[in-house]
Structures are given as C-alpha cells and as structure tokens.
Amino acid sequence: MSTPIQSQGNTVTEQLTQAGRAIEHDSFATIDREAGPHHYDSGQWAVVRRMIHANADFDFNGLTAFHPAAVQAGVDAIRSRKSRIVADVEMICVGLSKPRLAHFGMGTHQFISDEDVIATAHAENTTRAVQAMRKAHRHGLLDGAIVGIGNAPTALLELIRLIQEEGARPALVLGMPVGFVSAEESKDLLAQFQDATPPAQQVPWAIIRGRKGGSTLVVAAIHALLGLAEAQERQG
C-alpha cells in the first residue's frame, strides 16, 4: 500500500480552523486504516481517499481508475495558473472552494441552464449537456481545462467526440457521471478510447467504473488535486 502524499502543512487547501483540520485528518487516518489493500500510487490514493471521505463509500477503492498521467496532469494544470474548471452542471461549481480556486487563479464554467443551450437542445433533439459541452468548446474553454463530469453521461460522450473529431484537448477529464443509462458505457469508452490513442495525443482521465459517480465525487477529486498542487509548491 502506498503512503499518500501528506497535505499537513498546507495552508490554503486545508480546513480553516484547527478543530476542522483535526477532524478531517482523523477521518483520513480512519480511511487509511479501514480501506484495505489497494494498487494506487500516493497521488492517486490522495484523490481516492478524499472521494471516500466525501460519502463514506469504500467501493471507490477499486472502482476508481486513472490514466497513468492523470494526477500529475491535473496538478500541473492547477499550478500553471492558466487553467480553469469546466463542469457539466452547476452543482460542481457551487461545491468547489472559491478561496482554494482563487489561490491558483482558477475560475469555473458551466452552461447547462443557458437559454441558448436549452433552445438548441430542443431544436436538435439532444440534451442540454451535449450542447453545453459544445458551447464550452466554441468558446475555447476546453483546451487546457480540467473538465469535471459528474451528472450527465451525454456530456462525457460529447466530450469524447469533441476530442476525437474536433481536436479538443483538456488537461484532464474527470469522467464520473452517475446513473443507469450510458453512465457505465461512457466511462468505459473514455478509458478504451485513450488506451487506443497514440500517447502523444492522449488526454489524461480519471473515472469511476460502473454506475456510481456524481458531482460530489468530482468536487472531492478536484479538492484533492488542489491539495496536491499546494503540497508540490511547498516542496519546491
């Protein structure tokens, strides 16, 4: 079992009070004790552990899969202070810590409820999530972004199409939609597509295999990456 990268010593991406930090660190220690063996490296485990912490579900130890470059790609994007978060739904944007994002100069974008997105979805008989991804691409927001998809499998399927056919190049895709229709299939397609793509053209990804997922898991994964980014900055 890998020893996770420790965030103790972080100031921006930790809880604001000593009591809050103690509770969170105790929770992480409990997860480390009870999770059992795993195959993740230290950076990957820091992400998985925070996802378990978000909903007390140890199934994510095993269901979570990573492209080999995923964690460092996310950390590098954050540390560049030129990246952004593009989400499929507003819940992800609301759930993220604004001070933590601001420290790295990051903003959030989601278009699921925009009037033009809704109108086009009706006109083309597609979902709002599909049109929201297309709008993000038209505005040049996908390239270099961390794209978090926790709700809509159709958003992930459209993002894969944009990568394959229109040259979109996110820094990292967190493909974690929850559901019973196309959720599992969309995540498997992302992993299989990337496995078959030449390394130089690959977009790193992290997924939750199967039906489980959700916006809270995307938020947890991004918060873990923010913590890792701050830790790497402290270490020089």
The overall longest dimension of the chain from CA atoms, in Å, is 53
Please say whether the beta carbons of 104 and 10 come within 8 A.
no
User: Closest Cα partner for 173 from 189, 188, 160, 154?
Assistant: 160
53: annotated active-site residue: yes
Catalytic residue among 25, 38, 39, 53: 53
Active-site amino acid positions? 53
